[in-house]
């Protein structure tokens, strides 16, 4: 039986580090806001809920997460509306997903009131860190195992941290991707749909090799046939083929992206044909050769909508049209940003005013 001590202890910083430069100019993920939220789990009890000044953590070298990687995280964003309100995009979806990821890594669920109260209080306290006209405050919940023990078993102690950083674009230019069949990201029954640290660590070598070839990242293929497009690692992918938006179906091996879901919902509601299905990289290449591959774009919280400018596949590059000629990805990006910043009414209940 889990117990929760609701008392939230707030210790404010006496020295804000808020930079004077425009916040959206700060490189992604480099400067963190003044406070963090921390909650700990000790053998069935959630306790010691606090908001404290951003600072280093102390840890034992035997801390379980460092050895066996029991760590899951989330990414969401807060915005300022034109009237100065603080808006968070779909935090309920992030809350559900972190617990789904936690379940897969054999970690106890985070109680909703802890996650939501911690999140809201933290972002209220650091609301001056939300960029005003462009950009957003990227929010990173991180949940990890803290047992002091070397031996493989689920931890009995955990820490949940929520931290944030002001950000502009994750990708400042359209991205160049290369298809890899040398490595795989996930296989059925694995952790592909969990937002766990290990998935990202395992992607780094392929990513490094892609960069050495002049690309920004890879397109992962399915682990069995090495045929079907999965995702990009930093974001989900969609292709526009003959005016149909086609995106890999959720098979348990790709991240169940919240931006992906938002984009598909908006497209469908506007009468755009959307297909969630298996899509082979061969089909993408054939569509290109027939002149009906109109667009490719990534969808993610950090990346928002990232236009794909080039796809390297089997020794050649599929070159996609410039942004000025794209009507799907660019329009959905603008619509999403308008909803997130309160410029247009939110018909979906996605935007939380805090
Ligand atoms: C996000 O989009 O929130 C992510 O966690 C992706 C990461 C590569 C920044």
Domain with CATH 3.20.10.10 in the chain: 175-340
Q: Which CATH class is domain 175-340?
A: alpha beta
Q: Residue 275, class by beta-carbon neighbours within 10 Å (0-12 exposed, 13-18 middle, 19+ buried)? A: middle
The string of pLDDT tens digits covering residues 37-46 is: 999 999 999 9
pLDDT at 5: 58
| Pair 190, 152: CB distance under 8 Å | no
Predicted TM-score (pTM) above 0.90: yes
Nearest to residue 74, comparing CAs of 54, 108, 97, 50? Answer: 97
Ligand 1: which atom is nearest the Cα of residue 200? Answer: 8
Question: Which residues' Cβ are closer than 6 Å to ligand 1?
Answer: 75, 234, 300-303
pLDDT at 4: 57
Q: Classify residue 127 by its DSSP letter.
A: G
What is the radius of gyration, based on Cα positions, of the chain? 21
Question: Checking DSSP bridges between strand 217-220 and strand 35-42, what pairing results, if any?
Answer: unpaired
Ligand 1: which atom is nearest the Cα of residue 29? Answer: 9
Beta-carbon contacts of residue 350 (< 8 Å; ≥ 6 apart) = 89, 90, 262, 339, 340
The string of pLDDT tens digits covering residues 252-304 is: 999 999 999 999 999 999 999 999 999 999 999 999 999 999 999 999 999 99
pLDDT at 24: 83
Structure tokens at 175: 């991205």
Per-residue burial over 132-167, b if 16 or more Cβ lie within 10 Å, else e, is eeebbbbbbbbbbbbbebeeeeebebbbbbbbbbbb
- Would you state the CATH architecture of domain 3-167? 2-Layer Sandwich (3.30)
Domain with CATH 3.30.470.10 in the chain: 3-167
ipTM of the complex: 0.98
The string of pLDDT tens digits covering residues 173-200 is: 999 999 999 999 999 999 999 999 999 9
Distance 67 CA to ligand 1 centre (A): 23
| Nearest residue by C-alpha to atom 7 in ligand 1 | 234
Orientation angle between helical segments 91-104 and 112-125, nearest 10 degrees: 130
Question: Checking DSSP bridges between strand 136-145 and strand 76-80, what pairing results, if any?
Answer: antiparallel
The string of pLDDT tens digits covering residues 106-165 is: 999 999 999 999 999 999 999 999 998 889 999 999 999 999 999 999 999 999 999 999
| Pair 199, 254: CB distance under 8 Å | no
- 106-111-116 Cα angle (round to 5): 125
Ligand 1: which atom is nearest the Cα of residue 138? Answer: 3
């Amino acid at each position: 039986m889990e117990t929760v001590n609701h008392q939230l202890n707030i210790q404010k910083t006496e020295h804000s580090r808020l930079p004077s430069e425009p916040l959206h100019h700060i490189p992604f993920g480099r400067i963190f806001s003044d406070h963090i939220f921390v909650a700990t789990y000790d053998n069935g009890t959630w306790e010691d809920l606090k908001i404290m000044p951003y600072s280093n953590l102390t840890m034992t070298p035997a801390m379980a997460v460092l050895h066996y990687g029991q760590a899951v995280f989330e990414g969401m964003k807060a915005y300022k509306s034109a009237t100065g309100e603080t808006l968070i995009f779909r935090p309920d979806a992030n809350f559900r997903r972190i617990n789904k990821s936690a379940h897969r890594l054999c970690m106890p669920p985070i109680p909703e009131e802890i996650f939501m109260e911690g999140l809201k209080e933290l972002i209220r306290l650091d609301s001056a860190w939300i960029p005003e006209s462009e950009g957003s405050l990227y929010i990173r919940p991180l949940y990890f195992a803290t047992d002091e023990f070397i031996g493989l078993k689920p931890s009995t102690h955990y820490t949940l941290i929520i931290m944030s950083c002001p950000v502009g674009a994750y990708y400042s230019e359209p991205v160049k991707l290369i298809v890899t069949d040398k490595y795989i990201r996930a296989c059925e029954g694995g952790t592909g749909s969990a937002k766990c640290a290990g998935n990202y660590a395992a992607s780094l070598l392929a990513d490094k090799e892609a960069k050495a070839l002049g690309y920004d990242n890879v397109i992962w293929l399915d682990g069995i046939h090495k045929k079907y497009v999965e995702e990009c690692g930093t974001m989900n992918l969609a292709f526009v083929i003959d005016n149909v938006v086609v995106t890999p179906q959720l098979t348990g091996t790709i991240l169940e992206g919240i931006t992906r879901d938002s984009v598909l919902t908006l497209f469908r509601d506007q009468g755009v044909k959307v297909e969630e299905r298996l899509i082979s990289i061969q089909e993408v290449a054939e569509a290109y050769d027939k002149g009906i591959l109109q667009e490719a774009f990534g969808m993610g919280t950090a990346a928002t909508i990232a236009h794909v400018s080039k796809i390297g596949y089997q020794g050649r590059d599929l070159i996609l049209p410039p942004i000025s000629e794209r009507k799907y990805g660019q329009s959905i990006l603008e619509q999403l940003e308008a909803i997130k910043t309160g410029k247009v009414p939110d018909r979906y209940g996605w935007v939380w005013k805090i």
